[in-house]
Amino acid sequence: MNHLLEINELEQRFDVSPGFFDRLKIRNGRLRYQKSIVHAVNGVNFQIDRGEVFGLVGESGCGKSTIAKTIIKLYEPVAGQIKIDGEDITSYDYKKMIPVRKIVQMIFQDPYASLNPRIKVLDIITEPMAIGGAALGKAEIREKAMELLRRVGLGKEHVNRYPHQFSGGQRQRIGIARALSVEPELVIADEPVSALDVSIQAQILNLMMDLKDEFGFSYLFITHDLSVVRHISDRIGVMYLGFLVETGPCDDVFLNPRHPYTKALLSAAPSVGEKLHIDPLDIKGEVPTALELPPGCSFQTRCPFAFDRCIQERPRLISRVSDRMEACHLLDN
């Protein structure tokens, strides 16, 4: 059976070069034209099955959101393959993506920026159904939208209001209703609660999980918040500098992190490291710039266990124990 989502060797880069004259550099006495390329996503592989919640974690800027936007083709991938239910959508254009957007929907971090401020709530929710060519009449589409609004905790009195007339939590409820209006099989949630007040984060998370149980879709859940990811995920992937460095069942990874970066990340989070008694692992320095990836392992400039092979050879994400994968030479020994 096909995976619902399959990502193979996905690469994403962005040209952030300054103006033409600023790119000219003198090197070895010769004038050179130098580009600045951000290596945002580097050979990432993972799969998500039906009904599964896959949490993607890592520090800000590690490429998580770029992967999400590449999957739904807001960015064209530079290399690699994206498959939805076995269908290769990597080279699909806008028109070919229309039916795919009925299968894959996205909930964005900033609910205000992702909602059209000039459209009333009812139209925001019915719009994806109309674009997707739902085989429903106008009255049925309206009825379905009203039911979705009720299901996310809003009512009749809200349908003719504009996004700016709602709180952040309510706007995210509208974003969730809009995503679910086409009955997707996969919902990509990109930091869906991090822009919200702490007091309502739990309400929105509980709503999202209740809806998943009710409708039976899968989540690709992107967050930097380890306690959130532990609460909701079946499996997780840990990212560092655009590379996926460890994957596995959520509880296994939290109780027994195997990659040095995962250990450092978990032990540094007070809500996780102390509770699970993970030995502190201090890492030195800052995350290197994605403009110039270090040779070999992406983590070698900060890893306390780095040895010669780490500088010479990029580790591949491979499985050494059942259900787990890590990209680390140390685990080969």
Least spacing, CB of residue 257 vs ligand SF4, in Å = 12
- Spatial separation of the C-alpha atoms in residues 321 and 171, rounded to whole Å: 43
By C-beta, is 150 or 316 nearer to ligand SF4?
316
Q: What is the DSSP letter of 187?
A: E
SS3 sequence of 37-98: EEEEEEEEEEEECCCCEEEEECCCCCCHHHHHHHHCCCCCCCEEEEEECCEECCCCCHHHHH
Q: What is the DSSP letter of 318?
A: B
By C-beta, is 136 or 287 nearer to ligand SF4?
287
Q: Is 118 left (phi over 0), alpha (psi -120 to 50) or beta?
A: alpha
Closest to 187 in 3D by CA, of 102, 87, 107, 70 = 107
By C-beta, is 217 or 299 nearer to ligand SF4?
299
By C-beta, is 124 or 281 nearer to ligand SF4?
281
By C-beta, is 290 or 328 nearer to ligand SF4?
328
156 has which bridge partners? none
Least spacing, CB of residue 302 vs ligand SF4, in Å = 8
Least spacing, CB of residue 285 vs ligand SF4, in Å = 13
Least spacing, CB of residue 64 vs ligand SF4, in Å = 19
Least spacing, CB of residue 57 vs ligand SF4, in Å = 16
- Spatial separation of the C-alpha atoms in residues 320 and 332, rounded to whole Å: 8
Q: Which residues bind ligand SF4 (CB under 6 A)?
A: 260, 297, 299-300, 303, 305-306, 310, 315, 328-330
